[in-house]
Amino acid sequence: MQKDNLGVSNAGKGQIDTFGVLTKSGFSQQTPNVAKISYDNLRGQSYSDQFEKRLNKNIDQAAPILAKRADKRQSEIKKQKETKIKNARTVLGQQKTSLFEQQTKLDWKKKQLELAAAEVKDSQQQLAGFQGQLQTMPAGSQKDAQNQQLQMQQQQAAVQIAQLKEGQEQWQKSSQALRSGQKRLAKTEDKLNQQDKQVNKMTGLTYQLQARSDYNQGYNQFGEAAKRIDVLSNTFPLIFFAVAILVTLTTMSRMAEEKRTDIGVLRALGYTKLDAMKLFLIYGTSAAVLGTAVGSYFGTWLLPERIYAAYAANLAVPTLQTPPSWLWIGISLVFALMCTVVPSVYVAWNSLKEQPAYLLVEKPPRAGSKVLLEKVPFIWKKMSFDQKVTIRNLFRYKSRMFMTIIGIFGCTALLITGFGMRDSINGIIDNQYQKITHYDVVGIYDPNASQTEKDNYQKQVHDIKTVKKQDNIYYGSVTTRPQGTISNQQISMMVPQHEQRFDDFLTLRDFSDHKKLKLQGHGAVITEKLAKLGHYQVGDHLDLTDSSGRSHRIKISGISEMYVGHDVILDSSYYHKVFGKQVVYNAKILDLKDRSANNIDQVSRKLNSQTAAVTAVQSNQAKMAINTILHGLNNIVWIIVIASSALSFVVLFTLTNINVSERTRELATLRVLGFYQRETVMYIYRETAILMLLGILVGFSGGYYLHHFIMETLPPNNALADMTLRWSNLGLSAGLTLLFSLIVMLIMVQKIRKIDMLGALNSAD
């Protein structure tokens, strides 16, 4: 499951950030609307082609069965709703009767309170008159008795007043409760009337079957990441292995040649051929076993954990378990033994065919030979001595020449591909959100909401001060399964109200010549990646499945450049032709002045606060999802670049070191003949530089094709990479190779300076 972009909502900013678990009683919607199905015939890897094909076959078989069930189920649902409404109206009638009875009682109570109030008023008037009479009476026992009687009557009047107030308060509360009940009944009746209308408007019920990859984006993203790793693992290791094998074969063969004299000594002392070869067997086996052990650790634990962590950064997945693959470790060991033991044993065995006395003497240097260029006198005669020697030496050691060129070619191609992948990946976001996508938010609302609610939504859009441009569109989601693929693709379908203004929000242009595309009444514009997936061309037809499961066929009138996501854009007339109804605009497309993520979230929250809101789609949601994927790819790219750089350095160092070691006598001769130190170094390095430059030039071509192949297959199904290789990719790759060559030269200079001239020249004696 993904850690962000978990889905859309009509609350907050329109995006689900987390999930919670509730009991069944916590749901107001008790009718289930999703059924999860498990099949017994699905076994094996979830993301394999066989699994996906079998799953799609199951879905295709279930679709007609559910289609037959749809009409019956619709009748059942309609009948259930009608029964529920009928029962609710019965209860509503009973509640109305009860409220009418309560109203009657309250009216009678009101009259009683009015009579009581009149009596209290009369009593107060009588008490006031009686009190006035007492004030005029002379003092005496009779007045005292009358005062006592007055006090008793006043107390009785106070009790009556208190009872009257209590009765009035109770009546007020009962009246308020009655009015609340009447309002509730009115709302309930309105709600039932709306439900009646909804039941009467019920259209054909449809079932929508979705595979796990269709509704679970985290599952789909994890599978896409695995496929991308598979592409890389089937491409780059082959080149690494080829170059590594080349270096290993050269090194081991050279070691066997250097030990030629030692083999002669052992044979002269009476050792058998097997004893003489034990050195190569033990050394080659030790190197193969040690290299396989170290490589197995890196390949089984270290690198997989780093790659897995990079790709799973945005996913909630279990901890990676990487048990050793003994089969592949065994295969690697066999190849390692073939590259270390076989060449050294082969060279040593050929040496053992010669007599020990001949082995004790160094092999004579290779004879020079004429090159083809010597047959072109007007060029050859104009060349300097150093240039002629360099060219002859290049063709004198043909095997080393080809090994150097091939090694530099492979390393340069890998570096170009690595740097090119980095820029192509980063270019996806730059091209999409600077040149093509100009809108920031699509606010979707319910077109069936009341007019007041829709007006409030429109008013909210106009009240947002950061809106630069806005327009009405129809926005919906459809799916398609491009021909030749096994998974459905999610597509955003848009129908602009004002086609001439739509370019302010989304630029539709041809991928190759960037010519603007216009919406036409006889077809729809689809995006480049969707066309590539299904091998569609202008004039072809594409089947779309809407949210209700119905299929619609559209004709492709244009293919637009698009790097993120799949879109289908139609004009209103063609929408009516395809879907058989007039388009109902249900969304506002907004271009904001402030395009920061914080402002986009605030705008989305304001839109979703409206009653008519369905959700808000942010353009940067896809951007963040792609960025997450690209972050994982960038980590892989850096691994490739670092490994390629290390391999390039090893190739240059190994081949240059072998070149110097093989030609020690030549270098000593040059020094004895009076060549300066710089001239002696350049005698060797001039050849290396030429071969390196040839390898770089050939590597440019190889890097171009390898980069193109990788970027065609590496991006996910909803992203299109920028195939352009920048000059900086070529320059940086060549620059690194030149830098490594310079470092190797500085190291080799010290080795050349330390050559014992006398010992080197006497070595043949």
Q: Report the Cα 742 to chain-centroid distance in Å.
A: 40
Q: Has residue 734 been placed in a domain? A: no
Burial of 83 (0-12, 13-18, 19+ CB in 10 A): exposed
Strands 567-569 vs 587-592: parallel, antiparallel or unpaired: unpaired
User: Hey, what amino acid is at 233?
Assistant: S
Residue 482 within any structural domain of the chain: yes
324 and 469 co-located in one domain: no
Same domain, 145 and 275: no
* Residues facing 477 on adjacent strands: 492
Task: Based on the fold, state whether residues 538 and 461 are members of the same structural domain.
Answer: yes
For residue 738 the two structure tokens come to 């030149």
Please report the pLDDT score of residue 128 as a whole number: 64
What amino acid occupies position 538? V
For 693-731, give the secondary structure using H, E and C: HHHHHHHHHHHHHHHHHHHHHCCCCCECCCCCCCHHHHH
List all residues 6 or more positions away from 574 whose beta carbon is below 8 Å from its beta carbon: 519, 520, 521, 522, 523, 524, 554
Whether residue 220 sits in one domain with residue 359: yes
pTM equals 0.70
At 367 the pLDDT is 61
Gap between the Cα atoms of 722 and 720, Å rounded: 7
Q: Please, which residues bridge with residue 495 across strands?
A: 474
Residue 765, pLDDT score: 47
Structural domain span for residue 305:
214-363
Report how far residue 147's alpha carbon sits from residue 130's, in angstroms, rounded to the nearest whole number: 10
Q: Rounded to whole angstroms, how far apart are CA atoms 657 and 675? A: 21
Q: Domain check: are 153 and 301 in the same one?
A: no
Q: Do 240 and 186 have their domain in common? A: no
The predicted pLDDT at position 29 comes to: 62
> Within the chain, how many helices (H) and strands (E) appear?
22, 9
- Judge if 82 and 106 occupy the same domain: yes
The DSSP code for 509 is B
Check residue 210 and give its pLDDT.
Answer: 76
Residues 6+ apart with CB under 8 A from 78: 199, 202
Single-letter code of the amino acid located at 378: F
DSSP of 90-125, one letter per residue?
HHHHHHHHHHHHHHHHHHHHHHHHHHHHHHHHHHHH
Same domain, 485 and 609: yes
Choose the final residue of a domain: 363, 396, 423: 363
What pLDDT does 567 receive? 92
Predicted confidence at residue 471, as pLDDT, reads: 92
Instruction: With beta carbons less than 8 A apart as the criterion, state whether 205 and 29 touch.
Output: no
Q: How many CA atoms lie within 13 A of 236 on its CB side?
A: 26
Please tell me the total number of residues recorded for the chain in this structure. 765
Give pLDDT tens digits for 170-211.
Answer: 767 766 776 776 777 777 777 777 777 777 766 667 777 777
Asked if residue 422 is part of any domain, the answer here is: no
Residue located via tokens 């190291």 = 747
The residue among 298, 333, 363 that closes a domain is: 363
Annotate 435-494 with DSSP letters as a single string.
IIB---EEEEE-TTS-HHHHHHHHHHHHH-TTEEEEEEEEEEEEEE--TT-SS-EEEEEE
Q: How far apart are CA 104 and CA 107, in angstroms?
A: 5
At residue 382, the 3 state secondary structure works out as coil
Query: Does residue 657 lie within any of the structural domains?
Result: no
Structural domain contains residue 643: no
Q: Are 398 and 369 in contact (CB under 8 A)?
A: no
Whole-angstrom distance, CA of residue 358 vs CA of residue 363: 9
Q: Looking at the structure, do residues 190 and 232 belong to the same domain, yes or no?
A: no
Task: Please check whether residues 493 and 582 belong to one and the same domain.
Answer: yes
**CATH number of the domain where residue 141 is located:** 1.10.287.1490
Q: Is residue 247 part of a domain?
A: yes
Angle at 389 between CA 385 and CA 393, to 5 degrees: 175
Q: How many CB atoms lie within 10 A of CB 382?
A: 8
CA dihedral 466→470→476→479, nearest 10 degrees, is: -80
Question: What is the torsional sign of CA 85, 91, 97, 100?
Answer: negative
For residue 720, is it within any domain?
Answer: no
- The answer on 137 and 240 residing in a single domain is no
Using an 8 Å Cβ cutoff, are 365 and 668 in contact?
Answer: no
Please give the Cα distance from 74 to 206 (Å, whole number).
9
Among residues 584, 619, 654, which one ends one of the domains?
A: 619
Cα–Cα distance for residue pair 211/219, rounded to 1 Å: 11
Q: Considering its fold, how many domains does the chain have in total?
A: 3
**Blockwise average pLDDT, block size 10, the chain, 765 residues:** 58 63 70 77 76 81 77 78 79 72 69 65 63 59 58 62 66 70 74 74 70 72 75 77 78 77 82 83 88 87 77 71 85 86 82 78 66 79 79 76 83 87 81 88 88 90 90 91 79 91 91 87 90 90 84 92 90 91 91 88 88 85 69 74 82 80 76 78 82 90 89 80 86 89 84 72 56
573 lies in the same domain as 447: yes
Residues 6+ apart with CB under 8 A from 651: 243, 246, 247, 404, 407, 408, 410, 411
> How many CA atoms within 13 Å lie on the side-chain side of 351?
33
Q: Is 383 inside any structural domain?
A: no
